[in-house]
Every structure is written in structure tokens, then in C-alpha cells.
A and B are shown apart, each in its own frame.
Chain A
Amino acid sequence: MAPRLVALGGHEFRSRSDELAIVEYLLRLTGKECPRICLLPTASGDPQEGIQRFYTTLDRFACEPSHVSLFRLERERVDLREHLLAQDLVYVAGGSMLNLIAIWRAHGLFSVMREAWERGVLMAGQSAGAMCWFEHGITASAGEPKVAAGMGLLPGSLCVHYARDPHRRTAYLKAVRDGLAPGFALDDGAGVLFEGRRAVEAFSARPDARVIRVLAGGVEVPLRPIGLRHRLGLNRDPAVDELRELRRAREQLRGVRARAFAR
């Protein structure tokens, strides 16, 4: 199977139905009953509250969530490569694209991310975490929006928060007119699924969230995304409750072990 990646124009781990619809979409794409999903919150400096929101949101789904904090590897002691390769889904959170790329480069993560992607781990990311896969993105990491280089696993460029941030749109269209390789523009709540280097599906979890193909010269061509829906309250799957208990028990065990180890 070709490597797959989902680029999101803006998404948060919150309990709103459109945000949940995207989580559900990603989990379903893995094709697993209980997918392993790992959060990489590097771009925002691994903030605890963001990590907590991820776990709180994922708690209602059948999955095995984990996260890797590059800023706390010292304490967490995981083999990053091994951990990422064992996942069904890796979700790269947003923040500063400039910092994300700089930190991944400094830690030698480009090759690990490429390897995981090529080996069939579904990659997903929102905002900076989506743009980092392309040759270029439009980042506000240093204040005013401007072009920043990504890892370049996918061709062309990506611009996120398209409707919400008009300055970003202006900067993107100008850059494309000035010769930047064209690509996609995504509103918050919308995204594109790539297979290999090819876009195969545009989707949107909000009625007004757009997926726009931006052509050379800065021509915007809106695509017609498929609509994602999540119906709150209808996911009382007994398997999820069971899983939740299992996770709690495991966390407790881990706590007991850590305390025993500390002594």
C-alpha cells in the first residue's frame, strides 16, 4: 500500500462534533479495530494541557493513545523510532512550523518520520504539523506569515487556517504568483488525504470549511469535499468502556511500578 498522510487545515482535540468527526475519520482510515495512535506535540513545545486534551478526547474512542514529548525524552526514555514504527497513526500537532522543522532536524527525526510514513504508518497533522510534510508551508512562526521550508516528502506547498487568517492567504497567493510551487489551501475543519504523493480525497467536517487547490499563478479552485459527521452521544460502544477500564488499570500498574522503582 502506498504511504498515506492526512493534512488538516486546523483541528483540535476538543469534544465538538466537527473535531470528533475528524478523529473518527483518522481512526477509521487505519482499518484497525483498536489503532495505536501517537501524538507528537513538538511544534508547540509539548504543552501538558494540549497533551491532556488529546487523552481526554481519545478516551471516548476505541484506540490506544500515546504521546512522545521530545522536550521530556530524558524522563520518558522511549526509543522514538521503535515507538513510532509500532503505531497505526501518528498525529503531528500544530504550533511553530519553524521550530518543528528545526527540532526534528536537530534530533535527526526526518529519516524516522519518512521511514514510518513509507512503512505504512498513517501520518496526520494539523497546521504546522500538516505543512511540515510538504516542500513549503506558510508559517506565522516569526510573526508575519511567510514561506518556510518543510521536509518535502510531499510535493508543492500547503497553506492552513485559510479563511481564519486572511494575512496568510495573501502571503500564500503572493508567494505562488512569485513562483512558489502551488498546492493546497485548507480551512480549519477541512483536510486532504494523500496516497503516496497524490491527493485522493478532500474532506470537511464543517459546512463552510473549504479545500482549495491553488494553481500556478495563484488561481484558487475550490474542491468539493466529502462531509464528515460525528453524532455526539451515539458512540456508546461497550468495547470502548472495556478498553477504558483496561487503560486505567494499566496506568495504575505503571504508577505502582514507577513508585516501586523510585524507592
Chain B
Amino acid sequence: MEAGNPLLDDYVLELTGRDRPRVCFLATASGDADDYVVRFYKEFAGGRADASHLGLFRRRRGVSDVRAHLLSQDLIYVGGGSLLSLLGVWRAHGVDAILREAWERGVILCGLSAGALCWFDTSLTAYYGSPERVNALGFLPWSFTAHYDSEPARREVFHRELLAGMQRGYAADDGAALHFVGTELHRVVSSRPRARGYALRKDGARVIEEELATEYLGAPAHEGRIRVRPYPALQRAFAAGAAA
């Protein structure tokens, strides 16, 4: 849901392999902010998708059977905001367990900022100013930070935490998306030409930060279709990381 840039939205919609995928938006991290929900419908309704949203602040209105609704989706889209609030509210409503079930059953999960941080085991949130480590849902057994280019303090803290024993993981610039299949990284794509994904791990007393091959979705070769190609270099890098 980048303003004026539909590339990543198109990408996730195409991943569903459906003409009119069922897409549900969770704006929990923003407190179900009305304007955010409206923006979602503007982007995703109107023929492209069968769009709905799940509000957790006014449950008396809206979706009654949360589990059935989420399990019936092709794509679940999680908005940004406060990671801590999102985790707290999801746990209070049992939505975390339902999302895990949906993911295991093949529903595609995606999200940006807090909506991306939430899926990892350990994430950096900068909610109170300086970035801090948060234990998130752990569907993906890695560490993660978003906004890697726009918030420089995140790099410093991410490196420090890796040296302090945080598990290896990934970082993404604004506009870059990491696509995981199962728990393994499958592709890195972007909606901005210069946005990149990164893999980070500790090696002895230093941190190895690798820039990942990132496909810009706006390049001519991409228009109208998605190329699927494996990343042998990347897989090797991670085999090495795992062995170290």
C-alpha cells in the first residue's frame, strides 16, 4: 500500500494465482485507524480482489467468526503501526494462533513495517525512539528489521544485537520485500529501483552483512508478469551461514 506505487501490491496479489483473490486486511497495529482501512479498500477493492477487513477494536460489528473468515482467505495483509500493540491484541483475541493455522494451510501472509516485523522470531521496533528487540510470533525463525535505509539507527542496533547472540536474519529497505516459502527466503523484490534486502549473521566477533540480489518489479522485463527463478548464490550463502 505504497502511495502511488502498486508494484508490491500487484506482486502479492499475483502470488495467489487467482483472478479475484480473497484478501483480508488487518489494521490492528494502527488501532484499526479508519483512514487506513479506507485506503486498503481503495487499493484492493474494485474488481482486483474480494476485499474485507478484520477489525479487533469493534468486534460487535463486522466479522463474527474470525477463524473461518481468516482461513477462507487467499491473502492476509497486515498494516503497519505499533508492533507491541499488534502482538498484544492478537494474543488477546487468539488471532496469532489462527494466523499460524492459516499460514500452514497455505494462505499467503504479508505485511509492511509492523505488519512484516510480526512474523519473525525477533524483530527490531523503534516505537519508543531507539530501536529495541522484540520477541514476535516466530513463524519465521529469523531476526528482522524493516526501514533499513530510512532509519540508520536500526543497522547499528541490529549489528549489536547479532553480536550479543540474536539469531541471524534479514533487513529490508523501504520498498524492498522478502518473499519466504515455508521458513526459507525465496526471492527479494522491490518497488523502488534502489531498495534492497540484506542477510545478516554473526561471524566470530564481526557481523557479515550481505546485500541480496533484489529484483526491481518496475523493470521492463517485469511488466505484466512475474519471473520465477531460483537464487543459487543466496542459498549457498545461507548454507554457509548455517554451518558456521
Contact = CB atoms under 8 A, between A and B. Distances in A.
B88 A44 contact: no
A46 interface: yes
A73 B82 CA distance: 9
A150 interface: no
A47 to B, nearest CB: 7
Contacts of B93: 98, 142
B239 interface: no
A98 B64 CA distance: 16
Contacts of A96: 56-59
Contacts, number: 70
A47 B59 contact: no
B81 interface: yes
A45 B88 contact: no
Interface string B90-125: 011100000000000000000000000000000000
Nearest to B83: A106
Identify the interface centre among B29, B30, B89, B128: most chain A CB within 10 Å of its CB: B89
Nearest to A46: B31
Identify the interface centre among A42, A74, A105: most chain B CB within 10 Å of its CB: A74
Q: How many B residues are at the interface, by size bracket?
A: 20 to 34
A45 B30 contact: yes
Contact of B60 (A46, A73, A143): A143
Interface in A115-146: 140-143
- Interface residues of chain B: helix, strand, loop or mixed (majority): loop
A260 B149 CA distance: 24
A242 B57 CA distance: 38
Contacts of A142: 59, 93
Nearest to A95: B57
B45 interface: no
B240 to A, nearest CB: 37
B163 interface: no
13 contacts: A44-B57, A47-B33, A71-B81, A74-B82, A96-B58, A96-B59, A98-B93, A103-B85, A103-B88, A106-B85, A140-B59, A142-B93, A143-B64
Interface of A: 42-47, 70-71, 73-74, 77, 95-96, 98-99, 101-103, 105-107, 140-143
Given A99-B88, A103-B85, 11 more contacts: A42-B31, A43-B57, A45-B31, A70-B82, A70-B85, A71-B81, A73-B127, A73-B128, A98-B89, A106-B88, A107-B88
